[in-house]
Amino acid sequence: MLGKLEMIVGPMRSNKTAELLRRIEIRKQYAKQDVMLLKPSDDTKAEAGLVESRNRNGCGKMEAVEFRSADPWSVLPVLAATEKKIGKRVECVAIDEGQFVQDLFLFTKRLLEGGYDVMVSGLELDFRGLPFGEMLDLSWLVRTYSGNITELVAYCSCGAKALYPQRLIEGKPAQYDSPIIMAGDFYEPRCDVHFILPGRPH
């Protein structure tokens, strides 16, 4: 049987991770399912392994499998070993910060075809307002394999719905040509009117 895909999307500060953790808890507690939470990491040397994941919003902590964002495939042996250890299949794989995961489309597709339910939370747009990683591509998988998309809302300081992650560097809007992933940057959810992107070509 094919798995279903639940997508949790929205800008920064829309509590995507909290929603993902809430759904994992429900599956564990009420549906008695085993859920594996995956967390992409920038660490290029780290092998896929268990970490304790603390939610920034204080909704408790949860065990996660941390893996190199460039190689989600390294999770498959960990998944197989977990299933061997617990003596049954893991029902659901949850992926946080999906926008950072390379091969996200293919990796998710492979899990769905393998009968796993998949939950992915992440940003659809980067600080330039352009598609971030392969998050937007996942909507094809929702339509094809069934599932749903939950859009969480964040608000701009003016009260309008925030559409974009405004990157600020030392309090000023970041230039269009700054790197997509950058250490020490800061974001604010902004609406269409208050989103500022100096140097944008279009």
Q: Minimum distance from CB of 196 to Zn ion (Å)? A: 11
Q: How far apart are the first and last CA of the chain?
A: 45
Q: Minimum distance from CB of 188 to Zn ion (Å)? A: 10
Q: Minimum distance from CB of 195 to Zn ion (Å)? A: 8
Give me 49's structure tokens: 């392994």
Q: How far is CA 178 from CA 100, 127, 155, in A?
A: 17, 9, 24
Q: How far is CA 146 from CA 3, 24, 104, 107, 149, in A?
A: 8, 19, 17, 16, 10
Nearest CB to Zn ion, comparing residues 95 and 156: 156
Of the residues 6, 19, 66, 97, which is catalytic?
97
Nearest CB to Zn ion, comparing residues 14 and 53: 14
Nearest to 49 by CA among 37, 33, 34: 37
Query: Does residue 83 carry a catalytic annotation?
Result: no
Residues in the site for Zn ion, rule: CB under 5 A? Answer: 156, 158, 160, 191, 194
Nearest CB to Zn ion, comparing residues 79 and 156: 156
Residue type for 104, please? L
User: Annotated active-site positions, please?
Assistant: 97
